[in-house]
Amino acid sequence: MDPVEQVLDELRQLGSVLVAFSGGADSAFLLAAAVRALSPDSVVAATAVSPSLAQSELPAAQAFAASLGVRHVTPATQELEREGYVANGTDRCFHCKATLVDTLRPIAAQLGLAHVVTGTNADDLVAGFRPGIRAAADRGAVTPLRRLTKQQVRETSARWGLVTADKPALACLASRIAYGLEVTPQRLSRVDRAETALRALLHPRHVRVRVLADTAARVELDPEALARWGDGCLSAVRAEGFETVETREFRSGSMNALVVASTEQ
């Protein structure tokens, strides 16, 4: 059976689902697939709202869910109350995903939905360092996209006419903070404001403001945007209190590189 049809078939068998919907390409595709396999009445989208979510993401997620005719709930998640999350060790994503699923499961039960599903895809499952996947699995979350690669998700999204087909990956804001620096609302908001300013100035496909220390940041951009970097961009980042600012080409998961390397030694 075609892998996309397998995804749809599994969703039909699940009967009803609460989709952990970040607004990214994977969870958007999963939400659309659930609507195709079931019906809007059997599907609810849930976007976790916390300081880790970029402010620009929520309106887009709301619009996408509305376009599919599904109910959209926006529960507040309290990951900043978890010591393990705030400490920002290499298991931060475990604590984040644990909080998410622990928040969504009772909501699913209250709404009469049989399962919580996440947008974990086949590429995620073979990535070098993804503690959040284990946390979700331990809590019974289902991953219907495990048969599809990211490219297959994007290609099928394009065929279905989803506006998220070519949406760049956008990890949570906490992923910008170097391991060992505490995750705080202030640090998260500084990153959000700096990235928002750079998007307005450069219109990049990818932008990350990585917090290396309270006064030091590394800005990562795609090559075209990096070539347009200038004094105005530097001032925008320094306005958030980053006195030392370095730039380099964007690389997804660059904060995890040292972690992966250490596990391979």
Domain extents for the chain? Answer: 3-159, 173-260
Give me the pLDDT at residue 102, please: 94
- DSSP assignment of 203-220 equals --S-EEEEEEETTEEEEE
* Cβ(152)–Cβ(30) below 8 Å: no
Buried b (16+ CB within 10 A) or exposed e, 62-99: eebbeebebebbeeebebbebeebbebebbbbbbbbbb
* Cβ(249)–Cβ(222) below 8 Å: yes
* Cβ(245)–Cβ(261) below 8 Å: no
Give me the pLDDT at residue 135, please: 80
Residue in the structure block whose two tokens are 């709404």 = 111
CA distance linking residue 70 with residue 93, whole number of Å = 28
* Cβ(173)–Cβ(188) below 8 Å: yes
Question: Which has the closest alpha carbon to 131: 171, 170, 91?
Answer: 91
* Cβ(65)–Cβ(164) below 8 Å: no
* Cβ(65)–Cβ(31) below 8 Å: yes
Give me the pLDDT at residue 262, please: 39
Fold of 3-159: Rossmann fold (3.40.50)
190-241 residue pLDDT tens = 999 999 999 999 999 999 999 999 999 999 999 999 999 999 999 999 999 9
Spans in the chain with pLDDT lower than 70: 127-130, 254-265
Instruction: Using a cut of 0.85, tell me whether the model's pTM lies above it.
Output: yes
The dihedral over CA atoms of 119, 94, 265, 173, expressed in degrees to the nearest 10, equals 70
Fold of 173-260: GMP Synthetase; Chain A, domain 3 (3.30.300)
